[in-house]
């Protein structure tokens, strides 16, 4: 969006024309309460009726509900409402709200660290450095490449190789290169922006981790070969549907989704092939522009999510290693490569720092698009 220098002339024009359009603006409607202006005299710690947290749906939202939201409500009496808008789709809405000086649509954003870093760079996040529960967390909790805590990471997760055991009688796939075999033509699935696999493609294509991000050619070559095998590209619900309907045999997806699918009766397993899998983090951040008291309680929510009980409940429901040290993994994930706890676990996985991702993901996305959409 245009920076400060252009705000005056642009705003005048746009406000003028928008004002014309808005002359028909009447009062609030009966059914929509929306974001009414709070009385400015509210004390900083006045409890709001509710706070709104953006979550992913399905297993993710349920984990947040039982692990963090309900205990928070019990503790404080503040209702927690979930907003199920996709992380990508809420971002321009928050940015527009901050730019236009309005109250943003949510209080807390549960976002990928990369996305959160982008919003932090844009300056729309509130600093969380003063949260007491930040002490004692694993170094993983600290955002990389940013000053202070414009966001805080809450757990790690792995983009595993999920597969249908029936299609692999010889055992779990040892290498990602198995996706190039003709017998899997049309039965492979990737995220439609290449997320979670771009760095792995480089290694699978014969390169090394040092090639990332400057020389990704091995990865693009691998993608070109993969294209011949007609993979399906989609998002999480598509993967689940495809596994359910037997459309695919192998996919690169987040372990949470594979685990949720397995728990609901679909025949799916997962593994970390020899080239490794990408490991990343998710975090929480609070947008700017909230009224003082609501911002205070939004930060309290984030603080609570970092506490021992919340981390234990939330992350074990998800099946992901938390940033709170010393918690036991859920039974079905002990020793699972998708639940890294020790240094050796992490050594098998591929981790790319957020700033590198932020800078390169658009470029990788465009190359990915070019290869697969052509």
Partner 1 sequence: MRGRRGKAVFLWTVVGFCIVTLSLPTLIIIGASFTAGEIIQFPPDGFSLRWYERLWNLDSFQDALWRSLYVSVICTVIAIPVGALAAIGTVRYRLRFRRTLQVYLLLPFTIPLVVSGIGLMLVFGEVRILGQLWPVGVALCVINLPFMIWAVGASVNSLDPELENAAANCGAAPVQVFLTVTLPAVTPGIITGGLLMFVLAFNEFLVSLFLVDSRIVTLPVQIYNNIRSVITPDLAAVSVVYILFAVVAVWLLDRIVGLEIFLRSR
Partner 2 sequence: MARAGRQSYPLTWRLLDIAERAARLVWPRRWKRQVGYLMLTPAVLLVGLLAIGLGYMAEYSLHELDLSTYRLVEEYSLVNYQTIVDRPVYLRVFWRTLLAAILVTLFALALAFPYAYLMVRTSSARMRKFLLIALFLPFFIGQVVRAYGWLIVLGSEGLINTALGALGLPRLDLIYNYPSVIFGLTQYMLPFAVLMMVPAVAAIGEEVELASEGLGANWMQTFRHVVLPLARPGFIGAGIVVFTLSLTDFAMPEILGGGTSDFIASSIYDSFFQISNFGLGAAIAMVLVGIGSVLAAAMFILVGTGTLGMTGGGRDTGR
The residues of the shown chain that bind partner 1, judged by CB under 8 A, are: 11, 14-15, 18-19, 21-22, 25-26, 28-29, 31-36, 52, 56-61, 81-86, 89, 92-93, 96-97, 100, 102, 105-106, 235-237, 240-241, 244-245, 260, 264-265
- Distance CA(243)–CA(234), nearest Å, equals 12
Minimum CB distance to partner 1, residue 106 (Å): 7
DSSP string of 278-334, one letter each residue: EEEEEEEE-BTT--HHHHHHHHHHHHHHTSHHHHHHHHHHHT--BSSTTPPPPGGGT
With CB under 5 to 8 Å by kind, the binding choice for 224 among partner 1, partner 2, none is: none
- Least separation in angstroms between residue 339's CB and partner 2 is 29
Binding partner 2 (rule: CB under 8 A), the pick from 91, 107, 278, 299 is 91
- Partner in contact with 347, chosen from partner 2, partner 1, none, beta carbon below 5 to 8 Å by kind: none
Which among partner 2, partner 1, none contacts residue 336 (Cβ within 5 to 8 A by kind)?
none
Q: Among candidates 257, 71, 306, 289, which has minimal Cα distance to 157?
A: 257
CB 215, min distance to partner 2, A = 20
Whose Cβ is closer to partner 2: residue 140's or residue 179's?
179
Q: Which of 268, 302, 297 is nearest to 282 (CA)?
A: 302
123 binds, among partner 1, partner 2, none (CB under 5 to 8 A by kind): partner 2
Task: Please choose which of partner 2, partner 1, none residue 28 contacts, taking the beta carbon within 5 to 8 angstroms, the exact cut-off set by kind.
Answer: partner 1
362 binds, among partner 2, partner 1, none (CB under 5 to 8 A by kind): partner 2
Nearest approach in angstroms of CB 252 to partner 2 is 13
| Residues 250, 179: Cα–Cα separation, whole Å | 8
Chain residues 207-266 in contact with partner 2, contact rule CB under 8 A: 230, 232-234, 238, 241, 245-247
- Please return the burial class of 92, using the count of CB atoms within 10 Å of its CB with bins 0-12, 13-18 and 19+: exposed
Q: What does the chain come to in residues?
A: 374
- Closest CB to partner 1 among residues 245, 373: 245
Residue numbers 143-202 binding partner 2 by CB under 8 A: 186, 192-193
Residue 112 binds: one of partner 1, partner 2, none (C-beta under 5 to 8 A by kind): none
Least distance from C-beta 91 to partner 2, angstroms?
Answer: 7
User: Which whole-number Å values give the CA distances from 41 to 44, 79, 107, 165, 211, in the listed order?
Assistant: 9, 22, 20, 62, 56
The listed partner (partner 1, partner 2, none) that binds 317, CB under 5 to 8 Å by sort, is: none
Distance CA 127, CA 143 (A): 12
Segment contacting partner 2 by CB under 8 A, of 9-17, 150-158, 200-208, 251-259? 9-17
Contacts 24+ apart (CB under 8 A), 81-85: 81/50, 81/51, 81/52, 81/53, 82/52, 82/53, 82/54, 82/55, 83/52, 83/53, 83/54, 83/55, 84/54, 84/55, 84/56, 84/57, 85/54
Of 147-155, 162-170, 205-213, 363-371, the segment contacting partner 2 by CB under 8 A is: 363-371
Residue tagged 């092939």 (tokens) = 273
**Helices 217-228/354-373 angle, 10° precision:** 40
Give the list of residues 6+ apart from residue 346 with CB closer than 8 angstroms, or none. Answer: 279, 340
Burial level of 29, CB count in 10 A (0-12/13-18/19+)?
exposed
Contacts of 344 (CB under 8 A, 6+ apart): none
Kindly give the interhelix angle for 354-373 and 113-122, rounded to the nearest 10 degrees.
Answer: 110
The listed partner (partner 1, partner 2, none) that binds 3, CB under 5 to 8 Å by sort, is: partner 2
Q: Which residue number, 58 or 206, has a Cβ lying nearer to partner 1? A: 58
Stretch that binds partner 2, among 260-268, 308-316, 333-341, 366-374 (CB under 8 A): 366-374
Which chain residues interact with partner 2 by CB under 8 A?
Answer: 1-3, 5-6, 10, 14, 17-18, 20-21, 86, 88-89, 91-92, 118-119, 121-123, 186, 192-193, 230, 232-234, 238, 241, 245-247, 358-359, 361-362, 365-366, 369-370, 372-374
């Amino acid at each position: 969006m245009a920076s400060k220098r252009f705000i005056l002339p642009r705003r005048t024009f746009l406000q003028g024309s928008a004002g014309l359009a808005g002359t028909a603006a009447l009062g609030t409607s009966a059914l929509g309460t929306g974001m009414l202006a709070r009385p400015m005299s509210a004390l900083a710690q006045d409890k709001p009726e509710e706070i709104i947290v953006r979550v992913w749906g399905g297993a993710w939202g349920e984990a947040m509900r039982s692990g963090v939201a309900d205990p928070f409500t019990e503790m404080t009496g503040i209702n927690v409402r979930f907003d199920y808008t996709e992380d990508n789709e809420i971002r321009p809405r928050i940015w527009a709200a901050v730019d236009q000086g309005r109250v943003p649509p949510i209080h807390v954003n549960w976002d990928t660290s990369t996305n959160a870093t982008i919003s932090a760079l844009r300056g729309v996040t509130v600093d969380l450095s003063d949260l007491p529960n930040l002490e004692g967390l694993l170094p993983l909790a600290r955002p990389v490449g940013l000053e202070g805590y414009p966001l805080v990471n809450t757990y790690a997760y792995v983009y595993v190789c999920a597969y249908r055991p029936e299609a692999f009688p010889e055992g779990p796939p040892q290498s990602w290169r198995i996706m190039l075999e003709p017998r899997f033509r049309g039965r492979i699935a990737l995220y439609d922006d290449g997320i979670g696999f771009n760095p792995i493609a480089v290694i699978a294509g014969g390169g090394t981790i040092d090639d990332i991000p400057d020389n990704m050619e091995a990865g693009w070559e691998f993608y070109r070969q993969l294209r011949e095998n007609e993979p399906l590209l989609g998002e999480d619900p598509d993967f689940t549907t495809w596994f359910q309907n037997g459309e695919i045999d192998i996919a690169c997806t987040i372990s949470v989704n594979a685990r949720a699918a397995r728990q609901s009766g679909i025949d799916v397993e997962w593994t970390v092939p020899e080239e490794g899998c990408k490991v990343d983090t998710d975090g929480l951040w609070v947008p700017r522009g909230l009224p003082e008291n609501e911002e205070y309680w939004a930060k309290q929510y984030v603080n609570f999510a970092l506490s021992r009980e919340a981390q234990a409940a939330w992350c074990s429901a998800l099946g992901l290693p938390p940033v709170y040290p010393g918690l036991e993994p859920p039974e079905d994930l002990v020793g699972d490569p998708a639940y890294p706890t020790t240094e050796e676990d992490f050594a098998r996985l591929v981790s790319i720092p957020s700033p590198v991702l932020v800078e390169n993901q658009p470029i990788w996305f465009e190359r990915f698009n070019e290869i697969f959409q052509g």
